[in-house]
Structure 1
């Protein structure tokens, strides 16, 4: 379908985050001490682990957006789409919401098939969430969220070409009893609750931390045919951690977490007609954001959970770390695709997915002890997964038929990696990293279970295998002319494994896989602090060479993944954080992206060379001004606004037809009152305050362009209390 599953490209942009809270005590090495600011309006530091070690954000030669704990809480950053809203360079669409597609610096993937991989990945406490539907978590009780931009070809497991989102949760602490909670009420019958508790044990040698949340709201869209509502939420998440430190040099951490989602389907609409298709005469455009008329409300049900274990042992020469995990996903979705029913549309289209996935990982690494002159890490990574998936397409055109594609995929992946930073003078350091990755995939796909009267090709049951390996790297130099200034140059290469078709139209297509894709990034960056830390200004220029892009195209009632050829992504990013005087702060970021195909011939006679990569706006701006009003012994009052502008987007690589999005503007805001005791916070907040109507995704199929809209204006009141 053109494209129910299209490539998602995002703009390559600047770091747009506020550095608000120092990292919470972690299981691994203690973060380096941050010098006290020399004036009251200095911007708070944040410690990140973008290079698998604790460093100040301003000292990291990588483009990273980092959201601290306070910002995550006050700005209501709860899920990946909330992160994308505030991050130039990160884009997100929900197709549907329970299977998010993310892209970083113009590199993403629409392939959710059992034998495919994401181009940009999400990690939860360094654990790779290997399936799109497994990207389910609640960002409550987190230390920070990091967005790493560009190929992560050395340090992070399951090599990715676009970038990575790393969610870091708060760890148990041994020295205090701690607890907090919050409740929220808002429009669309929104009710939410979240809480955590930290309890020390064994005279300060162990601690337990438990956190959980429950978030519900009514559907944003009324279904006039069924009488129900769609685009609702009923999500419950929990996490339990046990940390033990029997000796100063030995630390253990066990974690179990889970998320349960129950929701109706998205509110679909006929957005435009495809005048090139005679079937367009059967459709009527419906752009009513508040209503749909689907033949079913549908469902999006997801249950995912995981366990994680980590051991850190400080030996005389290095720290030995073992990190292991197991995760489970049970996912079921079905929804109306055309937004109509037999009384309104001549053609009735519906579809969905069922998936059962299990994946595990093991990582062993050695790294330098804190304070070492040479910083290094080396290790071995192993990842295994098994996915059973069913894709269903139902058509009713005077007769009902169903296409069912059953998939069974198994992946065996391993990698060896090493990375080192060597100072050659007191101001210059050299960086080098290398990784060898190898994937083996065994795959079976069949369409024998369907009863479609529209099937154009034969039935099939095909088994195939493939092996893919690559050497990836990074190499660069750091230059510190002064303590608060950094200049760096970096070359990094990433690789994404090849795979096989999820919904092929024939046995030939089923046996015809696609090759790996590669991205090599050339980046020059600068980070600097001025005015005794009151002003931070960072800039990045990069060129990204992208080859063998895995793209999607329509093939009858099915879709096929091909390797597109080559593309070049050029970008500039800037980030400014300024506190001109006490109480006032302005965070501004801008990203410019020129992402175009150099070679791309999807079909004989078609040439997309020179076209913009789909879902990649040229411009994105994020502005976040805030003002803290001191009320003396009565506390503080914060006023904050988040503004985002995103320029025109093509949703199809052809850059023609109706699959386009005009420029959009979003405004969020909040007023937060905190008494002097700092134990209570009351927040009045709103999102999409201007009620901007923007398409989140769209695809052309059988004569019409179908899609859904971003959430409408929402608002509420949140009360937080801590011990």
Structure 2
């Protein structure tokens, strides 16, 4: 098997090499008169290898979006980023968001779970997936790195990594923007540099976003307008540069979210449907609120006056989150309206010390140590009876026993997660146009939980149950360690044509569940990935054409389902992923720009895998061999075209873009009622900017055709219903931005 894989990789590299040389020769034979347009695509600098490099010379599949590009597309969160990147899929688990890249995602959104696609915000990692809701504004860029990134970029990045970089002090610019839209949207944002002295610069930025909800709910949730937006954030930074060899950066950010959250469209068990009216729903299970407060401090110190042109970097940070989430539901089997409550209070520390030399030398090296610590309190979470319903056959018993305002199930935990690592990465150039790379990372993971869950069967299952309330111990712990590694080869065919091949391993720690019977554990998840790629700049850098192909093997894939009043995570077995990605960016004529990206995935669980579906009282053993992985559309594509028109004393820019995704399964069982349909979402904008560039006005519209796009589908075995969530409907607005130089 390994021989066949190696031969396949080598053959593919040779084929790509011949293809690129042919293109290079074709371009070289062109006369300068053949190239009419002298425009060039900008050089994109990234930090995918933890040092700055040209994206076209970086040996990993990635997509890069600069801050102004994201702002023009209305990308202000990880959810909206998924609308512009074909490899990124976004969904939610009981209201908690998570990301999948190349079909790899962690659906374990409990207090024990780790992400498979972490988000690094200026080098700071957090375990909690609800931190994905924090706004992305005043950005320098976002890098979407695809495939395992654990050797250099930290823990658990088996699927990939989102690198988010804010705009730091030193640009000596500023802006203020204001925006209004449908659903009474009112958004504002600012960012401004302020130089205090020759060595001290500051930057202050902030955002405020407020909007009515998309779904007007009736029935149980009469009067609730779900999926509204009400959030704000403020950020302050300072950059101290006393010499050419040393600089220090510090940042503080405060975020606040207070919203109604997602709405669930609920159907009978195993039935799939969508509402006829996208704006008005029978709200059987709306989220009542989604509250999040965040205070984060970060710092970074760089010293470059070292041998080998090396740079020593220490970065650190502290983040304190408060997360409160609840959704109301009515269980036909129990005579009460209920809320499922989540109240989590994590505190997170990050520390990293790293030494790195430039990668363009004959020898290059990086090595360092990374420390991650999270202490989290989970308090008064669980199933809470709001009010007994007299019209239910058991309603009077519920009222007589005073079982309203009672917990049927309550969790109170203290959780601590530690992850420490040492890493090293080396590069060697045996020839000027060839680079060999190798790296390894040793990670030690430890998780512990103390506390228990309270269960009161009369308030949870049936008011006639005479058993008193009971406390169940939920203490658990896990220790694990793993070495992940990387080997690769890079080859510059020409100055404009680059190919690479590499092998990476990834690792995500296991954990443990709580249920009525006690604590059960699940094993760590591992992935091994071969990848080959080609990056090409053509026609005097007017065209960028990139390809990559990969093969991943999974072991101990971690899946979950809602059963017996708990979210239970379990290992399913092994799976294989084959895929290919491509990107085309081309300058068209004097004023046009075309962008196309596509991703193909073939995912499949191995033979002989069966998984229990359903409750412990009514289990159903189902074979999933040959099924596709969840959150893995077989084909997805994004594209866009923008054109600048020279009008009197300014530029008028028209843009249109789209994303197509084939159907996607949301569970390992691949049932039709938990499958998201294929969709195409189209967006457009029109903007004007005068020659002075002092201001800009734009009109925009998203989801032009008002598609009902599935965002989640799940069978809920607690309530015996199907729950569905949907992406935002058609939205539009107008935005004005003032620039300061």
Structures share fold, TM-score greater than 0.5: yes
Q: Note if contact 1:314-1:369 (Cα within 8 Å) is conserved in structure 2.
A: no
In the aligned structure 2, how far is the partner of 1:38 from the partner of 1:72? Answer: 30
In structure 2, the residue matched to 1:83 is 81
In the aligned structure 1, how far is the partner of 2:103 from the partner of 2:242? Answer: 46
In the TM superposition, what are the counterparts of 1:573-652 in structure 2 within 5 Å? 573-599=581-607, 600-603=609-612, 605-631=621-647, 634-652=649-667
1:320 equivalent to 2:309? Answer no
In structure 2, the residue matched to 1:658 is 673
In structure 2, the residue matched to 1:668 is 683
Q: Note if contact 2:143-2:162 (Cα within 8 Å) is conserved in structure 1.
A: yes
Q: Note if contact 2:506-2:526 (Cα within 8 Å) is conserved in structure 1.
A: yes
Q: Note if contact 1:114-1:407 (Cα within 8 Å) is conserved in structure 2.
A: no
In the aligned structure 2, how far is the partner of 1:297 from the partner of 1:378? Answer: 46
In structure 1, the residue matched to 2:176 is 181
Q: Note if contact 2:121-2:165 (Cα within 8 Å) is conserved in structure 1.
A: yes
Q: Note if contact 2:106-2:558 (Cα within 8 Å) is conserved in structure 1.
A: yes
Local SS of the residue matching 1:135: helix
In the aligned structure 1, how far is the partner of 2:250 from the partner of 2:235? Answer: 11
In the aligned structure 1, how far is the partner of 2:556 from the partner of 2:216? Answer: 43
Distance 1:594 1:116, change over 3 A: same
Q: Note if contact 2:598-2:638 (Cα within 8 Å) is conserved in structure 1.
A: yes
- Deviation, 1:370, is 7.8
1:70 equivalent to 2:59? Answer no
In structure 2, the residue matched to 1:381 is 370
Distance 1:185 1:620, change over 3 A: same
Q: Note if contact 1:553-1:602 (Cα within 8 Å) is conserved in structure 2.
A: no
Local SS of the residue matching 2:682: strand
Please say which of residues 384-393 and 192-201 is displaced more in the overlay: 384-393
In structure 1, the residue matched to 2:483 is 471
Distance 1:657 1:506, change over 3 A: farther
- Deviation, 1:289, is 2.3
In the TM superposition, what are the counterparts of 1:531-570 in structure 2 within 5 Å? 531-570=539-578
In the aligned structure 1, how far is the partner of 2:590 from the partner of 2:723? Answer: 49
In the TM superposition, what are the counterparts of 1:337-486 in structure 2 within 5 Å? 337=329, 348=337, 350-369=339-358, 372-390=361-379, 391-394=381-384, 398=394, 399=398, 402-448=408-454, 452-454=459-461, 459-486=471-498
Q: Note if contact 1:442-1:464 (Cα within 8 Å) is conserved in structure 2.
A: yes
In the aligned structure 2, how far is the partner of 1:219 from the partner of 1:659? Answer: 25
Distance 1:698 1:605, change over 3 A: closer
Distance 1:199 1:554, change over 3 A: closer
In the aligned structure 2, how far is the partner of 1:711 from the partner of 1:663? Answer: 16
1:699-718: CA deviations, max 9, x gaps? 11243211222111000001
1:111 equivalent to 2:120? Answer no
- Deviation, 1:105, is 0.9
- Deviation, 1:657, is 4.4
In structure 2, the residue matched to 1:22 is none
1:124-168: CA deviations, max 9, x gaps? 001112211222432221110010111112111223211110111
1:48 equivalent to 2:63? Answer no
Q: Note if contact 2:650-2:689 (Cα within 8 Å) is conserved in structure 1.
A: yes
- Deviation, 1:585, is 1.2
In structure 2, the residue matched to 1:505 is 516
1:711 equivalent to 2:728? Answer yes
Distance 1:55 1:482, change over 3 A: same
1:142 equivalent to 2:136? Answer no
In the aligned structure 1, how far is the partner of 2:67 from the partner of 2:155? Answer: 27
In the aligned structure 2, how far is the partner of 1:431 from the partner of 1:369? Answer: 13
Where does structure 1 differ by over 3 angstroms across 4 or more consecutive aligned residues? Answer: 37-40, 94-97, 284-288, 293-297, 344-350, 369-373, 394-401, 449-453, 455-459
- Deviation, 1:584, is 1.0
1:101 equivalent to 2:98? Answer yes
Task: Point out where structure 2 has 5 or more consecutive residues left out of the alignment.
Answer: 1-34, 399-403, 613-619
Equivalent position to 2:700, from 678, 685, 695: 685
1:419-465: CA deviations, max 9, x gaps? 12211111111011110000111113522165633289975113222
- Deviation, 1:406, is 2.8
Please say which of residues 667-676 and 390-399 is displaced more in the overlay: 390-399
Q: Which has the higher contact order (CA 8 A, sep 6+)?
A: 1
Local SS of the residue matching 1:609: coil
Aligned residues: 668
1:367-386: CA deviations, max 9, x gaps? 11586443321100000001
In the aligned structure 2, how far is the partner of 1:337 from the partner of 1:290? Answer: 20
In the aligned structure 1, how far is the partner of 2:335 from the partner of 2:250? Answer: 55
Please say which of residues 222-231 and 535-544 is displaced more in the overlay: 222-231
In the TM superposition, what are the counterparts of 1:10-409 in structure 2 within 5 Å? 40-95=38-93, 99-173=96-170, 177-202=172-197, 204-225=198-219, 226-271=222-267, 273-274=269-270, 288-294=277-283, 298-317=288-307, 318-337=310-329, 348=337, 350-369=339-358, 372-390=361-379, 391-394=381-384, 398=394, 399=398, 402-409=408-415
Please say which of residues 444-453 and 561-570 is displaced more in the overlay: 444-453
In the aligned structure 1, how far is the partner of 2:413 from the partner of 2:604? Answer: 33
Q: Note if contact 1:356-1:388 (Cα within 8 Å) is conserved in structure 2.
A: yes
- Deviation, 1:357, is 0.3
In structure 1, the residue matched to 2:710 is 695
Local SS of the residue matching 1:693: coil
In the aligned structure 2, how far is the partner of 1:449 from the partner of 1:315? Answer: 61
- Deviation, 1:286, is 5.2
In structure 2, the residue matched to 1:514 is 522
- Deviation, 1:337, is 4.6
In the aligned structure 1, how far is the partner of 2:44 from the partner of 2:455? Answer: 53
In structure 1, the residue matched to 2:738 is 721
1:373-419: CA deviations, max 9, x gaps? 43321100000001122542357774466322333210122100011
- Deviation, 1:349, is 5.4
In the aligned structure 2, how far is the partner of 1:245 from the partner of 1:237? Answer: 27
In the aligned structure 2, how far is the partner of 1:486 from the partner of 1:442? Answer: 46
Instruction: State the TM-score, normalizing by the size of structure 1.
Output: 0.88
Q: Note if contact 1:294-1:336 (Cα within 8 Å) is conserved in structure 2.
A: no
1:634-655: CA deviations, max 9, x gaps? 1111111111111111222111
Local SS of the residue matching 1:66: strand
Higher Rg: 2
Local SS of the residue matching 1:188: coil
In the aligned structure 2, how far is the partner of 1:370 from the partner of 1:495? Answer: 26
